[in-house]
Structures are given as structure tokens and as C-alpha cells.
Amino acid sequence: MQEYFSVLAEQIVASIPNIVTALLIFLISLYVARWLSNGVKRVLLRRDAASGVTHLLADMLRWTIIVFGTITALQKFFDVTAFLTGLGILGFTIGFALQSVTQNFVSGIILLIQQPFKVGDEINVLEYDGVVLKIDLRTTELQSLDGRIVILPNAEALAHPIVNYTRAHRRRVDLPMAVSNAKNPENIRAALVDAMKEVPGYVAAPAPVVTFTNFGVSTIELLASFWVDTSLTTVHLAKDAALLGVKKTFAARKLSIPSPIAKPKE
């Protein structure tokens, strides 16, 4: 029995360097995990990410580092290669079965970090125009301009062009129309420019432009364009105000009311 304890004591003494090294590796991994997870929290909170998602991503990063540190520490005592190989095969099998879920999850993380849009932005994606209501790790929820709720998989949203209307502080409003052939087209141009300047949210730069584009049978086709401040109005309201203003201005100057035409293809 005495010999057994003697051998055990020698083994423990011989293992002290490995024990100290493993303990240091584990403690360092705890410190690094905490430091990096707090950094991720700060970055995501500055980007107005959802608090639940922020804590989830930070915890995932923290536990990933801790697990990696633990495995590295255990390597000082026995070979964990076979164990890791088994975990890799299991992870591959699960990942293949949940491929679409994983793809949406990763896309959600990219959307939260890159932030091509955020909650409250008006965007266009996959032919849907709407306001962003929620950004989860798997889906993005929009309310379309006609009131429908659209739930888009994050992978689909990330894989297609995204138009962010909210970030564009100035938007151009186009009014394609046709006016009857007049002896002086410049009167038409001047009337349109004056009408556009009265639209709420109108900005002087870039300046409004009226270009005559084509001759019809008894009309001249034109395109009137002006810019508005999107913090003061929307494109739809600006177009509505512009058309009413054009009608009022033309009536006051005794000009023929223009008729709308399809917007020319660019």
C-alpha cells in the first residue's frame, strides 16, 4: 500500500507542470471570452441591434472560446483527437440536416453586423416595399406599404439587392406627362418649375428640371423632375402635391391641363 501511495505521489508531482499549464490556459480563456463578448455587446448595442440578439451572440462567442480553452487544457492530460473527430462528424451531420436554418442564422448575424437596414427603415427587397418591423436571427419582418406583413428569410434578403429609402435623405420625384402642342413650350416649362417649387419638402438643389422627350399626335411628351427632403415628406405625398399644384398653376395661367403618361423606360 505504501508503495502505491509513493507511486501516486510521484505521478502527481510529475503532473504539476501540466496541471498549472492547463489551469492557466483555462483561466486565460475565461478572461478572453469575457473581454471579447463584452466587446461584441458594445458594438451591437451601438448599432441598435435587438438586446436579445446581442446577448445571444455575445454568449455564443463567450462559450465557444471557453470550450476551445477547455479542450486545449485537457490536451495536456490525454489525446482528445478522437473525441474531437466524433464531435466533428456529429456536427457535420446536424449541420447538413439543418442547412437552411444555419444559412438563415449566419445571414441574420451578417445583417445585424453590417446593417444594410435597421428597424424603422423603409426598404425594397425581393420586390417588396415596406418598413422594417423586426430583424431576428432567422427572418426579417416587413410591413408593406399596403399594410401586409411580409416575413423574409434572412438568406434570401441578403442574397438580393436591398434598396434603403430611409438612408437617402433626398429623393427625386418624376412626373411624366403630355401637354397639348403650344406655340411657346417655355411657358409650359416655367409653369411646371413654379408648381414644383411649391411642393412641401421641396429642395432647391439639385434644381428642378423639365425636359421634353417626344412628340405625340397632338401633344408634346415631357418629364418634370424635382427633389424632396425625405425627412419632411414622402415621394408619394410629394407627387400628389406636385400634381395638384400643376393643375392649379396651369388653370391660373390658362394653360391646357397636362395628361399623365407612362414613365419612360430608362
**What's residue 39's pLDDT?**
83
Mean pLDDT (the chain) is 78
Query: Average pLDDT, stretch 213-224?
Result: 79
Burial class for 32, CB neighbours closer than 10 Å (0-12, 13-18, 19+) = middle
| Verdict on whether the full-model pTM lies above 0.75 | no
C-alpha grid cell, residue 106? 449566419
Name which of 8-22, 35-49, 157-171 the model is least confident about. 8-22
**What's residue 261's pLDDT?**
63
**What's residue 89's pLDDT?**
55
* Rounded CA separation 209/192 (Å): 9
CATH assignment of 116-164, given 2.30.30.60, 2.40.50.100, 3.30.9.10, 3.40.50.1220? 2.30.30.60
Where does 170-260 sit in CATH, by number? Answer: 3.30.70.100
CATH assignment of 2-97, given 1.10.510.10, 1.10.287.1260, 3.30.300.30, 1.10.940.10? 1.10.287.1260
Q: Categorize the per-residue pLDDT at 13 as very low, low, confident or very high, splitting at 50, 70 and 90.
A: low
**What's residue 84's pLDDT?**
60
